């Protein structure tokens, strides 16, 4: 609902020539700073999001991910720039009595559920009583869609974190928003259930045609779920693209480290690996080939071996150089042995 006192306030409209046909959200040179921390907030962010996509905003803690999500929803107002839903500027809390865009819904980390009410009632409460038959049918549809029919008559306070997350999503999408924003949706979900929830979120996007924007501190969520990643560093959007492209061909060292936790070495040290390049070199652990010479002439000591199920993670040491490598033939290399190392692929970045 707009504030009548502000309904005549000027706002921007994008012309159709500015807007790609499938574009649903456009962020133009948006900034929002916090005086207590010069590196927080968002700085001159510009990007577009197409309808029906799953977008993951990733970055280190404090990089501005949640602030950007709130700017897109209209919970806070940018100091510079503007955010558009389709062709119309999204109005912030100064211009709306009830902040948040009417065509979007947001699921926060606290879920915003009535913990003492039943699951069914939490979902149904979002719909008016003008058509009780439709209200009941729609609520049942959401219970089935999120696979929580068996929880319908349980109180939210009796549910696990993962179950509450599903209820929160059902409550958010029962009114059929065009965009669903999710702030750390997997933070209270254990590893086993996380994969199931990722699959269900992807299914919801495909079946309902809904655009889903996720903020996550775990890059794996973005790599395995999203159609596109938006990478943030100290409030700035430094890269945007498909997960496999950003992983395999990152333009920034920050992106490579964020998505892969790679080995980072200087050009001087890299020469010991047969890499003659200037700048900073990043080598993914799976791109280091480790062999165990029968005559024991290897030049790297195996300092540690960590069993990871389908592979071992090796910590290798040569003087001051440490490398992490993966051995997919588990148990074949032991601590204290000497191995030879070769690099199959690497990424070079300017210092």
Q: Is 15 exposed, middle or buried (0-12, 13-18, 19+ CB in 10 A)?
A: exposed
Query: Superfamily assignment of 262-349 in CATH?
Result: Nucleic acid-binding proteins (2.40.50.140)
Query: Are the C-beta atoms of 104 and 85 separated by less than 8 Å?
Result: yes
Query: Per-residue confidence of the chain (351 residues) as pLDDT tens digits?
Result: 444 444 434 445 555 456 788 999 999 999 998 876 666 799 999 999 999 999 999 999 889 999 999 999 999 999 999 999 998 999 999 888 888 999 999 998 888 899 999 999 999 999 999 999 999 999 999 999 999 999 999 999 999 988 999 999 999 999 999 999 999 888 777 777 888 888 899 999 999 999 999 998 888 888 999 999 999 999 999 999 999 999 999 999 999 999 998 999 988 888 888 888 888 999 999 999 999 987 778 889 999 999 999 999 999 999 889 999 999 999 999 999 999 999 999 999 987
What's residue 15's pLDDT? 57
DSSP 108-135: -TTTT--TTSBHHHHHHTTS-TT-HHHH
Question: What CATH architecture is 1-101+218-256?
Answer: 3-Layer(aba) Sandwich (3.40)
Strands (E), the chain: 23-34, 37-50, 54-59, 80-85, 88-89, 104-107, 179-183, 211-216, 228-233, 236-241, 263-266, 280-283, 288-291, 300-307, 312-318, 321-327, 338-343, 347-349
Could you tell me the residue ranges of all domains in the chain?
A: 1-101+218-256, 262-349
pTM metric for this prediction: 0.89
């Amino acid at each position: 609902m707009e504030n009548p006192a502000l309904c005549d306030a000027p706002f921007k409209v994008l012309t159709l020539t500015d807007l790609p046909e499938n574009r649903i959200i456009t962020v133009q040179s948006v900034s929002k700073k916090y005086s207590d921390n010069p590196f927080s907030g968002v700085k001159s962010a510009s990007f577009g999001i197409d309808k029906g996509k799953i977008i993951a905003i990733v970055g280190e803690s404090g990089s501005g991910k949640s602030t950007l999500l709130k700017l897109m929803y209209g919970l806070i107002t940018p100091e510079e720039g503007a955010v558009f839903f389709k062709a119309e500027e999204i109005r912030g809390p100064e211009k709306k009595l009830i902040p948040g865009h009417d065509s979007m819904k947001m699921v926060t980390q606290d879920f915003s559920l009535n913990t003492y009410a039943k699951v069914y009632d939490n979902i149904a409460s979002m719909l008016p009583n003008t058509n009780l038959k439709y209200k009941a049918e729609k609520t049942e549809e959401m219970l089935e869609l999120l696979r929580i029919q068996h929880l319908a008559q349980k109180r939210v306070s009796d549910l696990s974190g993962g179950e509450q997350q599903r209820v929160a999503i059902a409550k958010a999408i029962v009114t059929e928003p065009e965009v669903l924003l999710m702030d750390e949706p997997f933070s209270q979900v254990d590893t086993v259930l996380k994969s199931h929830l990722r699959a269900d979120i992807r299914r919801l996007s495909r079946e309902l045609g809904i655009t889903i924007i996720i903020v996550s501190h775990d890059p794996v969520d973005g790599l395995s779920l999203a159609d596109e990643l938006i990478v943030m560093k100290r409030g700035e959007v430094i890269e945007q693209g498909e997960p496999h492209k950003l992983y395999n061909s990152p333009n920034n060292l920050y992106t490579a480290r964020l998505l892969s936790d790679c080995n980072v070495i200087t050009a001087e040290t890299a020469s010991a690996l047969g890499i003659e390049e200037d700048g900073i070199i990043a080598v993914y652990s799976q791109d280091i080939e480790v062999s165990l010479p029968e005559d024991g002439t290897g030049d790297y000591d195996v300092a540690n071996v960590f069993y990871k199920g389908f592979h071992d993670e090796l910590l290798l040491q040569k003087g001051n150089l440490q490398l992490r490598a993966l051995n997919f033939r588990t148990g074949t290399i032991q601590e204290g042995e000497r191995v030879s190392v070769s690099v199959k692929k690497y990424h070079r970045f300017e210092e």
